[in-house]
Amino acid sequence: MTATPHRRRPEVFDIAVIGGGIVGSAIARELSGYEVSVALLEARDDVGDGTSKANTAILHTGFDAKPGTLESRLVARGYHLLNAYAKATGIPVEHTGAVLVAWNQEELDALPSLKEKAEANGYERCRIIGADEVYQSLPALGDGALGGLTVPDESIICTWTTNLALATDAQQRGAKLLLQHAVTGVDQTDEVTTLHTAKGEVRARWVINAAGLGADHIDRLFGHDRFTVTPRRGELFVFDKLTRPMVNKIVLPVPSSRGKGVLISPTIYGNVMLGPTAEDLTDRTDTATSEDGYDFLLTKGERLMPRLLSEEVTASYAGLRAAIDQPDYLIEATPEQRYLLVGGIRSTGLTAGIAIAEHVRHLLEESGPPLRSRADLPGPPRMPNIGEATTRPYQDAELIASDPAYGSIVCFCERVTEGEIRDACHASVPARTLEGLRRRTRAMNGRCQGFFCGAAVAALHTQHRADDGCGSQHKDNG
């Protein structure tokens, strides 16, 4: 299993976490709160650049999870933990609520059992409503809705800021962030595991596999054959901000014998989103959109909300979910190998991430020596606001008076300022690429998709990365 020899890092970490998505970053943050040394390895050149970046960005109550599963428990716990963490760090959240809309008799008949499932999961605020109340809540819906189920605490959140906050927090607590460290081989001795990566060897006493789409490959490097990841592509449309008044709540499909279906949701950036599709692939890198996906979404959208389809689509994108051949999260420790697997974390991992990290810590404490809490933890980072529900920098007269760069707009579609671009380039986990800059500031994510502002944004990014001494070390891929 040994790869070609690389440069060896002199230190031996107590714990190496593989995967810089939301779950891996949350685990690194959690464990860095204890007296252990932690390395967070990410294969790409930024955190949150895999499955986490294309999440549907819903903060779930866990009302519809299968009762009694690990997923249902951790999503319910994670909902409260992430809400509190968002308040502490400034992650944008809007508590919009949701309505499951029944369009046929089968779906209408399923509403009472869905309400019972929610109550079995500890969520008791769902309410069955008739068609009149559905249309009072969502007047732009298409004709034919028969009833609905309200979920008043479902919310929308910024998945990008969540991932960045967790990784920044982990780093400020002392974790070492190792980017471009794709794991290609594993060697184990009685006390130390050596991870062979594209950037050299990393040695650790314990290894945690939170590698998302690559988790089964890493698991096999440790000699296991427990599961297979199937990349499941989900395509989405993002509609112009003028559509937001049509959709003030998340419109959820009623799960049926044919699957979960397509949702309509507002975003914290002021847009409306339609999707996702669900297509199983073999290529774990295929995030291209497709003609079939477009046709499917247009057909669904025409039925769900015809007025929406007459508005402009400002972006379409596809993300891959790490579907596995098991019905629940797969989180297991192998103490004799000092190895812990965190696999099969579906899109609910956004909500459950901090609770998953808590669960992983408990498993580590059961499998090895007790972890001792640190008394010198820094406070959580305060993240820049890129949501529309609260004041953005270009609207803050006091901030602009103290630093005029926050009054100099560069991206006019999204109202992103020069000050925000500068800050993102000089942050503790900086925007090394233009795509990373998009996720930190919203620059080039608006109606023109960078056609007007792209050159100016790229020039500022290059300037500030050079000022930071990193301009020549990374290639922009925007």
- Angle between helix 349-367 and 70-89 (nearest 10): 110
pLDDT of residue 54: 83
pLDDT of residue 470: 53
Mark the ranges of the chain whose per-residue pLDDT is less than 50: 1-6, 471-478
pLDDT of residue 4: 39
- 362 in active site: no
Q: Is residue 132 packed enough to be buried (19+ CB in 10 Å), middle (13-18) or exposed (0-12)?
A: exposed
- Determine contact, residues 417/403, Cβ cutoff 8 Å: no
Report d(CA 117, CA 165) in Å as an integer. Answer: 33
pTM above 0.85, yes or no: yes
pLDDT of residue 249: 97
- Determine contact, residues 17/28, Cβ cutoff 8 Å: yes
Report d(CA 380, CA 164) in Å as an integer. Answer: 12
Q: Say which of 6, 60, 95, 196 is annotated catalytic.
A: 60
